[in-house]
A and B are shown apart, each in its own frame.
Chain A
Amino acid sequence: MQPEQPSPPENSEVADGVDETALAGVMRTVPLGAAILAGSAVALLVAGYLLIYILVFIPRGTVG
């Protein structure tokens, strides 16, 4: 039995009732939030890398 395929909207240009101004307002803040989230995550990773490099790897000395 084939699963039911969702039928495409008859007209994709039909307005979905979203207020364009409100959408624009949300879209203005989303990149900032994403940047802060991604920036914090990467900053934590970089801080961890630096701490291990400076406090563990360098004091153990060279092997080459």
Chain B
Amino acid sequence: MSDTHPEIHERWILKTELLWSFGVGVFIAAALGMILFTALTISVNPPSNVERIDPKSLHLSGEFAEHNLGTTVSDGSVTVRAIATQFMFLPRCIAVPANRRVTLRFASPDVIHGLLITGTNVNTMVVPGFVAQVHTEFTRTGDLLMPCHEYCGLGHSEMWATVQVLPDDQFKPDPDGRISCAQR
């Protein structure tokens, strides 16, 4: 058998390795292409809001003062503001409407936190000095868990909040445009 010569084996092995490299190259190109395609056509991008805020005074006045936290409806747009602090979210429960675009804004006065909302693509870090902002549309009603997912200290595992997704007929903000979680 002529192809049992060691040099031919070497060539054969090299051929399979080149083929493998080609396959990996095709996959990487396809994955990058898919990311680029979805970014350009349906705007699938990572959260990229860069907005500074002073962590030392954010709870004293302005957007993240205590009276301004929670859900606000203004001109039909729904905005949620919450503070992530050691070791809780303020407010602990957030009421949002189903099937409407919601803007979520978070800030931290102490250390780096992170959060996700189960069953959605909401997933961001909350870095002191910056406002983390994401948008989403909740498609199912019910209570969703929002845990801190960035280790922030000894009480990290106790740090979580609830997102209460309300159907349209139950999402009724007060005259000031504010709404809290329904008591159940």
Residues of A within 8 A of B (CB): 21, 24-25, 27-28, 31-32, 34-35, 38-39, 42, 46, 49, 53, 57-58, 60-64
Q: Is the CB of A62 within 8 A of B121?
A: yes
Those of B1-16 within 8 Å (CB) of chain A: 1, 3-6, 9, 12-13, 16
Give the bracket for the number of chain B residues in contact with chain A: 20 to 34
B32 interface residue, CB < 8 Å from A?
no
Q: Which residues of B contact A (CB under 8 A)?
A: 1, 3-6, 9, 12-13, 16, 19-20, 23, 27, 31, 34, 38, 42-48, 119-124, 134-137
Is A63 a contact of B12 with CB atoms below 8 Å? no
Are the C-beta atoms of A32 and B27 separated by less than 8 Å?
no
How near does chain B come to A30, taking the closest CB pair, in angstroms? 9
Check if B46 sits within 8 Å of A64, measured CB to CB: yes
State the CA gap A64–B122 with chains docked (Å). Answer: 9
Given A21-B1, A28-B12, 8 additional A-B pairs, CB 8 A: A25-B1, A28-B3, A28-B9, A58-B38, A60-B136, A61-B121, A61-B137, A62-B42
B6 and A24 within 8 A (CB)? yes
List 9 tightest A-B contacts by C-beta distance, closest first.
A64-B45, A24-B4, A63-B134, A60-B121, A31-B16, A63-B121, A31-B13, A64-B47, A35-B16
Inter-subunit contact A62/B44 (CB<8 Å): yes
Main secondary structure of the interface of A (DSSP, over half): helix
Q: Which residues of A are found within 8 Å of B23, using beta-carbon distances?
A: 39, 42
Chain B interface, DSSP helix/strand/loop, else mixed: mixed
Contact at A25–B4, with CB atoms within 8 Å? yes
Q: Are A62's CB and B45's CB within 8 A?
A: yes
List A contacts of B31 (CB < 8 A): 49
Contact A53 B4 (CB under 8 A): no
**Contact status B12-A31, CB under 8 Å:** yes
State the CA gap A24–B2 with chains docked (Å): 11
Determine if B6 and A32 form an interchain contact, defined as CB atoms under 8 angstroms apart. Answer: no
Contacts of B20 in A (CB 8 A): 35, 38-39
Q: Which residue of B lies closest to A22 (CB)?
A: B4
Residues of chain B within 8 A (CB-CB) of A39 are 20, 23
Most chain-A Cβ atoms within 10 A of its Cβ — which of B34, B48, B123?
B34
Q: Shortest distance in angstroms between A26's beta carbon and chain B's nearest beta carbon?
A: 10
